[in-house]
Structure 1
Amino acid sequence: MAVFTPLTRAQLEAFVQPYQLGQLLDYQPIVEGSENSNFFVSLEQGEFVLTLIERGQASELPFFIELLERLHQQDFAVPYAVPTADGQALRQLAGKPALLQPRLAGRHVQQPTPQHCRAVGAWLARLHLATTAQPLPRQTDRGLTWMLEQGRQQAAQLHPVAATLLRASLDEIPALQAALPHLPSANLHGDLFRDNVLFDGEQLSGVIDFYNACSGPMLYDLAIAVNDWCSLDDGELDPERCAALLTGYAQLRPFSGAEAELWPLMLRIACLRFWLSRLLASADYRGHSGQPKDPQQYQQLLACRWQTAPPLPG
């Protein structure tokens, strides 16, 4: 998706000056992503990513800054906020909250192998284990209550077949709401898609875009990752990739009985969340150039998850 807020070279030169990282050499918009405006920025002292926060409350940004700094201090390769020479990590640019972060090495993988998936599972388990003792509190703004509200509105606008699928999935939410307090919790990435993970060969070299991070049930974070990393073009899950990701995770953090029982439902809820957010993004995107992510992809995934779901490793 294209950048929501375009920037001029003059704006960027003025913005980077307080960091004292040298002159601006080059910059370019990042077309991946769906919610914030991002730019690659080349300075004399290194490569960086500039993010303009387009969604959410500015008051919540200290949560993201603190979480990423904590992970950085624990040797996670993540895009922590670089402070200016006088210590400011969060600033303003073009009327939007703005962060400058190191550009991590590696490339996105669009055709993941089981080895890539195993590495993703292990990384996610490390994140959860690193934050489960004292997770930073933040409720997602796209949780179950949001799904109910938005889902009812969207169902009235969809084709009858899609509306039936959506309403059936909304009917599952009360059972999950009752079960959530009994699931192990930690800080979640909340958006661990292929375009948010970097690899050097089959070695995971970094994870980006934590702007959906929150505190919550670890199983939900895992379901989001499995739905993206392990799905085939027809929406079904690839058994080999799925087993690799789940095993990579479970070798570091075994699953509870309650998690195993709720796993098929959590896979469906994770599909529902991204189906709804893409429906909304498609509507909001009118008037912008570029191509939003296709909501129908997650409609198809959700339909498939009603048919089959692989068990969690015992």
Structure 2
Amino acid sequence: MTESSFQPDPTALTVGVADGGVLSGVTDPSTDPAEHVLLQSSVARRGGRLPATTVDEAVLFPLLQDAYSFGRWHSWRRTDKGSSNISWFVQTDAGEMVLRRSHNLKTVAGARFEFALIEHLRGHGYPAPPIQRTQDGAIYAEVQGVLHMVMGLLPGCAYDPGDPSQLELAARGLGRYHSIVSELTPAEEPNRSSGLAALGQLGQENLYAAVNVVMPLLSPHAAAQLTEDARYLGERMEQLNVGLGQRQKELRQLVIHGSYGQSAVLVDGHQLTGVLDFDRAAHDLLALDLAYALRSFCREVPIRPSGPSVNAVLGRAFLRHYRSQAPLADADLAALPEAFQAQRLIVVAKKCQNLLTKQAITPRQSKDALGFSLLLNRECARVRWITHNPFPATEDA
């Protein structure tokens, strides 16, 4: 734990505390018209994550302390979870807060969408974390182009996969979330799923471009295996992009959570006390959100690359509890097997784009090439298994 007993160097970093715009002064999020307009269309996340950089806490924290009105920031510690963002528990004069430093893909428009969504959810009594405003009334503080948001600390403990009652809480929590956001329909006809779009021509081109980057760094045997895996994954991308894309009008679209998994929920006894990580929320296919949640909460243990990703018994229990809070159309249920595949391939597409972005800054090394080839091989095995062993094969929930 780090003590903040130091003085900031005002020349070390530049701080821009942005205006909350039309969202400033929202008092009734359930009826505010500006919020509903904002939530009718989400902002697609930019692709290509830059290499991680070291955070100079000795400079950053005094600057943020001055931007907010919590008094002195006494101490802080990094959270255990989180791969996209960096977060800290911060002890202040006003109590304990959570500071999140967003990744380089986070935009101002994305931050405003996230804030509006959280306000909408909280207006319906949903346990989303309250975003704290700066002294100027802004919803975030920007330090050298990186967005920082402070949220109130929610009660509860981490999800326990060994407690069956918590599976019910998590499933009902996702159903309740989907029920609340179902009213946030786009003003016009829904756009093409951004998830499926990632599997289209650009995603396939990035896959083969990433393969070409790492091929010279591999042994002939590893290079041949990588070529075979990439060909299979590219074909599945195209098949799902076209197949699910043609059926998209039959499928439910809403503001999906995007990362509703074990690390996103807090539980206290028999109550779901917190739902976190709205950073990836966007208008997309409900089936993709369900697939993500099922894979996280109902995973087979131990996890095997060529084995089932979802325990069928747990999965059906999850769907049954989910449906107690929100309807699930037959078309969305039937799309789940393909949604599981699409979800894995979306991960592949993102990894390829990230590799290409980093390659433009720092040429990849042999260890990077080996790690990338192993990643594609694992995902290839998983997609093959899911393709031949769809879940749910039958549904009796």
Q: Indicate yes or no: 2:234 matched with 1:167.
A: yes
Give the Å deviation of 1:17: 3.0
Residue 22 of structure 1 aligns with which residue? 71
1:172 counterpart SS class: helix
Q: Indicate yes or no: 2:203 matched with 1:150.
A: yes
Is 1:246–1:313's contact at 8 Å kept on the other side of the alignment?
A: no
Is 2:161–2:167's contact at 8 Å kept on the other side of the alignment?
A: no
1:221 counterpart SS class: helix
Higher alpha-carbon deviation: 235-244 or 131-140: 131-140
Higher alpha-carbon deviation: 83-92 or 107-116: 107-116
1:147 counterpart SS class: coil
Q: Indicate yes or no: 2:139 matched with 1:93.
A: no
Residues 252-303 of structure 1: CA deviation (Å, up to 9, x unaligned): 223222223222111211222223334555676798xxxx999466554323
Give the Å deviation of 1:47: 1.6
Give the Å deviation of 1:109: 3.3
Which of 90, 109, 115 pairs up with 1:59?
Answer: 109
Residues 169-190 of structure 1: CA deviation (Å, up to 9, x unaligned): 2122111112112222221101
**CA RMSD after TM alignment:** 3.1
Q: Indicate yes or no: 2:204 matched with 1:117.
A: no
Counterpart CA distance in 1 for 2:356 and 2:297 is 26
Paired residues, number: 310
Give the Å deviation of 1:34: 2.3
Query: Structure 2: where are the runs of 5+ without partners?
Result: 1-50, 212-224, 363-370
Residue 152 of structure 2 aligns with which residue? 102
Residue 180 of structure 1 aligns with which residue? 248
Is 2:196–2:240's contact at 8 Å kept on the other side of the alignment?
A: no
Q: Indicate yes or no: 2:358 matched with 1:306.
A: no
Residue 211 of structure 1 aligns with which residue? 279
2:343 counterpart SS class: helix
Residues 82-118 of structure 1: CA deviation (Å, up to 9, x unaligned): 1124421122124312211112233333645443322
2:129 counterpart SS class: coil
Give the Å deviation of 1:307: 2.0
Give the Å deviation of 1:242: 0.8
Is 2:134–2:141's contact at 8 Å kept on the other side of the alignment?
A: no
Q: Which amino acid aligns with 2:254?
A: A
2:335 counterpart SS class: helix
TM-score, normalising length: structure 1: 0.85
Residue 267 of structure 1 aligns with which residue? 340
Query: Structure 1: where are the runs of 5+ without partners?
Result: none
Give the Å deviation of 1:67: 0.4
Residue 192 of structure 1 aligns with which residue? 260
Give the Å deviation of 1:136: 6.7
Higher alpha-carbon deviation: 2-11 or 78-87: 2-11
Is 1:124–1:249's contact at 8 Å kept on the other side of the alignment?
A: yes
Residue 8 of structure 1 aligns with which residue? 57
Asked which structure has the greater CA Rg, the reply is 2
TM-score, normalising length: structure 2: 0.69
Is 1:279–1:295's contact at 8 Å kept on the other side of the alignment?
A: no
Which of 299, 315, 325 pairs up with 1:231?
Answer: 299
Counterpart CA distance in 2 for 1:133 and 1:93 is 35
1:159 counterpart SS class: helix
Is 2:204–2:234's contact at 8 Å kept on the other side of the alignment?
A: yes
1:181 counterpart SS class: helix
Which of 42, 54, 70 pairs up with 2:91?
Answer: 42
Is 2:195–2:284's contact at 8 Å kept on the other side of the alignment?
A: no
Is 1:220–1:266's contact at 8 Å kept on the other side of the alignment?
A: yes
Is 2:67–2:141's contact at 8 Å kept on the other side of the alignment?
A: no
Q: Which amino acid aligns with 1:62?
A: R
Q: How does 1:234-313 map to 2 (within 5 A)?
A: 234=304, 235-236=307-308, 237-278=310-351, 280-281=353-354, 295=375, 298-308=379-389, 309-310=391-392, 311-313=394-396
Higher alpha-carbon deviation: 69-78 or 199-208: 199-208
Residues 63-90 of structure 1: CA deviation (Å, up to 9, x unaligned): 1111011112222222232112442112
Identity of aligned residues (%): 20
Q: Indicate yes or no: 2:149 matched with 1:76.
A: no
Q: Which amino acid aligns with 1:162?
A: D
